[in-house]
Amino acid sequence: MTALLATIRKDLRQLVRDRAGLAVLFLMPLALVMIVSLVHHAVLEGTGDRDPVEVLVANRDSGEVGSAFERILEESPFFAVRKTWNGKPVGPEEVAKAVLAGDFKVGLVLPAGLTESYERRRAKALRSLLSGGRIDPVALRREGPVLGTYVDPILPGVFRRALLGGLSQTLAFAEMEMLFQGRLVMPSTEGALSGQPQGGLLVRVEDRTGELLHGGALPTATQQNVPAWTLFAMFFIVVPLSAQMIREKQTGVLRRSLVSPAGYSTLLMGKVTVFVGVCLSQFGLMIAAGFWLMPLLGAPRLEILANPASLLIVALAAALAAVGFGLLVGTVARSHEQAAMFGAVAIIIAAAVGGIMVPVFVMPDILQGLSAFSPLSWGHQAFLNLFLGRGGLGQIWPDIGRLVAFFGFTLAATLVYQVLRREQGEI
């Protein structure tokens, strides 16, 4: 019993003395629980208390129907109407361009002649009723103009359907208001909701996002997920890289390397070369799986709509950022436990706030602000823009620049920290 108590006291002293290890053990899981819980809460609660989704509206109708639709959207707690882009009023083409650029999640075009179409169908319905005939609401809807909608192609299908469903319900509410006010005739609703695309009784809301993309097809789940989780896997290089660096400290390899003519900077560049190669190999493996393995499992085949050279540039920038972070963690951490816990949890947090797990726009405001500082967010946006054919290198250079700058910062911080440790005699 005495030996057991002595062993317990020894282990407790070692644990208490390792303040950095204690912080990693308790603070990092706490941060992970808080952030992931906030993300999941935002998804489960739908819109919740966050800001309404901005809808860019081009109203080409000069009558009361278009105005009523605008007013109901403005009064909705879920949407905020915007009529300008870059300080100028928008038309249908500008709405499409703004959504494709990612400046708005949703765009809506109210076509010219919308009110006249209602009046024409109203008169037709009245004549049919007066003559003892029946009204076919599906046919009335098909005769009317289509309200074109555009949704950011980066959004996963479930969020796209949620936005379109909310928009359709809001417009249907505007129709019902006009019907109760006597400005429209309420026909029999039998079969009114059986037609596609969805909308109200007399309006058709059609998703035209595919018209903005190469080939006219919406992005598949494979296109959405392969770039996201490829990036996530690349950043997890922090675990083996930091473990190798700590092992070199403990076995004396680092001390011998520091007295060699090569120097510490050469040692770091050797690691950068090796582990960047590993990250690029991961990238190639994930792309190959998207091409050949996913179809065998019943998922859509990966289609890349960008120049492969552009993808390779983004992959290289992301690999440098991931390796730079791994070098910094491996230099600062004093034990395998610190490196593994801090590195893994930090990457999961960065992925959560960076839009890897759920789109950034559904997150609380505080997490949306944090996403701007996540390197996984920069890489994710760049990859998705290329994978979905939404832009070329000219549009993603800012994200590439941030990734390279992050690598430069982490590499410089690693060198500075190493110099300070040597001056303090710790090495």
Q: In angstroms, rounded to a whole number, what is the distance separating the alpha carbons of residues 100 and 323?
A: 32
| Residue type at position 3 | A
Q: What is the structure's pLDDT at 313?
A: 94
Same domain for 294 and 204: no
The tokens describing 409, both together, are: 């910062």
The tokens describing 91, both together, are: 């038309």
Same domain for 177 and 304: no
Final residue in a domain of this structure, among 215, 233, 261:
215
Same domain for 209 and 90: yes
Same domain for 123 and 30: no
Same domain for 230 and 141: no
Final residue in a domain of this structure, among 181, 215, 249:
215
199 domain-assigned: yes
Same domain for 266 and 122: no
Residue with tokens 């009723």: 129
For residues 334-346, give the mean pLDDT.
83
Same domain for 419 and 273: yes
243 domain-assigned: yes
Residue with tokens 């920069």: 378
CB atoms within 10 A of CB 220: 18
Nearest one of 153, 155, 151 to 207, comparing CA atoms: 151
Region of poorest pLDDT, from 217-231, 240-254, 282-296: 217-231
Q: What is the structure's pLDDT at 375?
A: 94
Same domain for 70 and 26: no
Nearest one of 77, 87, 81 to 67, comparing CA atoms: 81
The radius of gyration computed from the CA coordinates of the chain, to the nearest angstrom, equals 28
Residue 103 above 60 pLDDT?
Answer: yes
How many C-alpha atoms does 81 have within 13 Å on its Cβ side?
21
Q: In angstroms, rounded to a whole number, what is the distance separating the alpha carbons of residues 190 and 137?
A: 8
| 146 DSSP β-pair partners | 204
Final residue in a domain of this structure, among 198, 215, 232:
215
Q: Which residue has the higher pLDDT, 72 or 58?
A: 58
pLDDT tier for residue 398 given thresholds of 50, 70 and 90: very high
The answer, yes or no, to whether the previous bond of 197 is cis (omega within 30 of 0) is yes
Q: Which domain holds residue 141?
A: 53-215
Residue 261 to residues 256, 265, 420, Cα–Cα distance (Å): 10, 11, 20
133-166 pLDDT, tens digit each: 666 666 666 666 778 888 887 777 667 777 777 7
Q: What is the structure's pLDDT at 384?
A: 82
Same domain for 174 and 199: yes
Q: What is the structure's pLDDT at 316?
A: 96
- List the end-to-end C-alpha distance of the chain, in Å, as a whole number: 39
For residues 386-410, give the mean pLDDT.
86
pLDDT tier for residue 400 given thresholds of 50, 70 and 90: very high
Same domain for 225 and 189: no
Region of poorest pLDDT, from 216-225, 283-292, 414-423: 216-225
For residues 348-357, give the mean pLDDT.
85
Q: What is the structure's pLDDT at 371?
A: 86
6 domain-assigned: no
Q: In angstroms, rounded to a whole number, what is the distance separating the alpha carbons of residues 242 and 224?
A: 30
386 domain-assigned: yes
pLDDT tier for residue 197 given thresholds of 50, 70 and 90: very low
Per DSSP, helices labelled H in 259-392 are 264-288, 294-296, 308-332, 336-353, 365-371, 375-387
Q: Which residue has the higher pLDDT, 405 or 209?
A: 405
pLDDT tier for residue 186 given thresholds of 50, 70 and 90: very low
414 domain-assigned: yes
Same domain for 60 and 122: yes
5 domain-assigned: no
11-68 pLDDT, tens digit each: 566 556 656 555 655 665 566 556 555 555 555 455 444 567 888 999 888 888 888 8
Which helix (H) or strand (E) segment holds residue 108: the answer is: strand 106-110
Number of domain units in the chain:
2
Same domain for 154 and 202: yes
4 domain-assigned: no
7 domain-assigned: no
Q: What is the structure's pLDDT at 124?
A: 73
CATH number assigned to the domain comprising residue 164: 3.40.1710
Using a cut of 0.85, tell me whether the model's pTM lies above it: no
Q: In angstroms, rounded to a whole number, what is the distance separating the alpha carbons of residues 336 and 30?
A: 20
CB atoms within 10 A of CB 373: 13
